[in-house]
A and B are shown apart, each in its own frame.
Chain A
């Protein structure tokens, strides 16, 4: 052996120690990581279950509150035909009844087809879909106050949830002037008739 020859023997033990330390450390890390991952999985599952049951419980609590506070209002809406299919027959009947009550000389209506609404101002629901049908009314009246009374009466009938969107009033008398026995005012009005149907019942347009 030459003077101070590089001694591999001297490095053998430290290298072996490093190798053993590396292998043991890697094994320890791997097993501990497995252990941690397993418990992490169990913990995530438990958290998920807790969140689900918490949510369910919250909904159940909310449901109780809703029934207490809004049950009556919901029944009212059902009675007014807001929930479910459009009660068009009832609407027409209510128009006729209000017209007769307030001396409407002529009452013509034109109801367009129903359409689903998706409005930012109203928001969405996973349970219900809002619908609207536009109704155009032509009325011949003795006096403009009869128009107010007519719509007030329609509201009192509680046959629909509707909104008067606009009207155009113009005189119907000529040079002979106003008469109590014939129409003096002509009104053309737009009404929006609203309904809400359970979301799963909504039929999609096949086209």
Chain B
């Protein structure tokens, strides 16, 4: 649980952050007795880092114009300038709040510092003594910008006034959502009327000062938001504090806290608890602590990192080792099951082999030999069919006679001759798919009419083409070559010459599988 030390000029308040707010643990005076008491309280608690929230009257705000730079140059330039402005204190900070719109377009830089180091250093010594690292020293006015959104402030110029413990009225001026100036006025009101009067006069003082600093133009209106408790909010409605250039609005602390997630804000018009909560809730960067002050915190962060890494390694290693062990156990279990199955199958194997007259491999060899024989015997040439259809075809055309009849088996229907079988034509030894035959013939009685001769040959070929399993029947050569791309020469005679009317046919049959 994180702790916050709220520091004013007179007292130090210890808050602990809870899930829905902050709890006041104790309040200590800023003297030896108070520091001693704080030392005792902190020693008894946890050694977790502590954040310091300062709300001091000796916090100075200076806005300067510096040449526009970027990166490391900017940090160095601004740090050097802060050192020049606030030589007497190490607790200084700077932030760019804008940029000039004309000329060199310099950066507008807000330099702030805690000018009285005695307010902080005794506290840091106490923390060092009890071994509690400091996570940061934060400026309360700078935190004020976190209130703009929940308050719904839309005005470009806003002055937020809050009452702080130990009699202080904190006035923070924001322009375009950025803090430009803040001051803490001492308060000594006795009655509520005194309070309204004080708020009004302090606001007017601040307005005049802002005019002087040229942070606020004379014609620019200023919206003043006053943080207060419920009772004062009700009483505020009867007050007429508004002026021509200033309008006042009351903000109920309890409602605002509720909006920010602080559920049970204490019954008080002081805002210290709210700002402490803001610091605990948001990741606010350190303002005033130097590297030396943060060494302990860095060491704590490193130790935390090492602890986290140790946990991660331990958890990761244990998980991985556990997974390996579980895997190993599962494998062992599976191995036992497999061994049982192996024993069972071995038994069955022995029984099966004892019944066999031969070795299993010999049976498989038999199967291969049979496969070879079946494959080479499949699709034998059906000579009966071939002779039957060719014989019948010539019987249908008695004037045509066969002179030569060649046929062969092949895998390609386009093959024109049987290639020599051997190493170059190994596939020719394999099963064939087609029976290709070539028939050379002539006309028995050729009367000299090539037209009639061609018609007879065409009739023969057409008849063959219609027979079962015939995939092609084609006239390769006619008695008279009449193709347009070939030369043609001859003589017309009354009686034809038998030998001159030769023709050639090609017939392709598809082979069917035979069951062996």
Residue of B nearest to A80 (CB): B373
Known contacts A6-B295, A29-B324, A128-B365; is A36 also within 8 Å of B423 by CB? no
CB-based contact A62/B363 at 8 Å: yes
What are the residues of chain B within 8 A of A3 when measuring CB–CB?
124-125, 128, 292-293
**Complex contact A10–B346 (CB within 8 A):** no
Are B313 and A18 in contact (CB-based, < 8 A)? Answer: yes
Identify which of residues 299-335 in chain B touch chain A, using a CB-to-CB cut-off of 8 Å.
Answer: 299-300, 302-304, 306-307, 309-311, 313-314, 316-318, 320-325, 327-329, 331-332, 334-335
Complex CA distance for A140 and B384, rounded to whole angstroms: 19
Which residues of chain A have C-beta atoms less than 8 A from B320's C-beta? 25, 28-29, 32
Residues of B contacting A179 in the complex (Cβ-Cβ under 8 angstroms): none
A4, B294: Cβ atoms closer than 8 Å = yes
Q: Which of B397-433 contact A (CB under 8 A)?
A: 403-409, 411, 418, 421-423, 426-432
Q: Give the shortest distance, in Å, between A143 (CB) and chain B (any CB).
A: 11
Total interface residues on A, CB under 8 Å, equals 89
Q: Does A157 contact B (CB under 8 A)?
A: no
Contact A67-B310, Cβ < 8 Å, known A10-B299, A35-B328, A39-B335: no
- Which one of B313, B338, B409 contacts A47 once the chains associate, using CB atoms below 8 Å? B338
A119 touches B430 (CB 8 A): yes
Bound-state Cα–Cα, A134 to B418, Å: 13
CA of A25 to CA of B516, assembled, Å? 71
| A205 CB, min distance to chain B CBs, angstroms | 12
CA distance A4 to B50 in the complex (A): 13
Give residues 154-171 of A contacting B (CB, 8 Å). Answer: 161, 163-171
- Of A53-61, A93-101, A103-111, the one contacting chain B is A53-61
A71 contacts B by Cβ under 8 Å: yes
Chain B residues, CB < 8 A from A35: 324-325, 328
Interface residues of chain B: helix, strand, loop or mixed (majority): helix
Q: Bin chain B's interface residue count.
A: 35 or more
Q: How far is the CA of A176 from the CA of B235 in the complex (A)?
A: 152
- Given A36-B331, A67-B358, A161-B376, verify A18-B309 contact (CB < 8 Å): yes
| Known contacts A21-B314, A32-B328, A36-B327; 11 further A-B pairs (Cβ under 8 A) | A4-B134, A13-B303, A17-B310, A22-B310, A32-B324, A32-B325, A43-B331, A50-B345, A63-B356, A67-B358, A122-B376
10 A-B contacts (beta carbon < 8 Å): A17-B310, A29-B320, A36-B325, A38-B328, A46-B339, A63-B363, A121-B411, A125-B371, A144-B405, A169-B405
Which A residues fall within an 8 A CB radius of B? Answer: 2-7, 10-11, 13-15, 17-18, 20-22, 24-26, 28-29, 31-33, 35-36, 38-40, 42-43, 46-47, 49-50, 53-54, 56-57, 59-64, 66-67, 70-71, 73-74, 77, 82-83, 115, 117-123, 125-128, 130, 132, 134, 144-145, 147-148, 151, 161, 163-171, 190, 192, 194, 196, 198
